[in-house]
Amino acid sequence: MYIFEFKVTSGGTVDEALAQIEEKGYAKPFETNPDEKREIVKVGVVFDTAARNVKEWKVAE
């Protein structure tokens, strides 16, 4: 299971994106069933609006 949070260069960083995933509990619905052995990967992505491309991304450790 991949959970992404996207930001734009004027609106945040990858660390802020990853923090938002935690603060808002986006992964909680997928962590509650102990019978399901889903690996959850949290990814923060920042888009550069000028270059119209991904500027930076980071996977939570």
Q: Judge contact between 20 and 5, C-beta under 8 A.
A: yes
Q: What are the structure tokens assigned to 33, written together?
A: 């069933």
Q: Find the DSSP H helices in the chain.
A: 14-24, 28-31
pLDDT digits (tens, 9 = 90+) for 5-52: 999 988 789 999 999 999 999 998 888 777 777 889 999 999 998 889
pLDDT at 35: 72
Ordered by start, the domain boundaries in the chain are 2-59
Q: Judge contact between 40 and 33, C-beta under 8 A.
A: no
Q: Among residues 31, 49, 52, which one has the least CA distance to residue 40?
A: 31
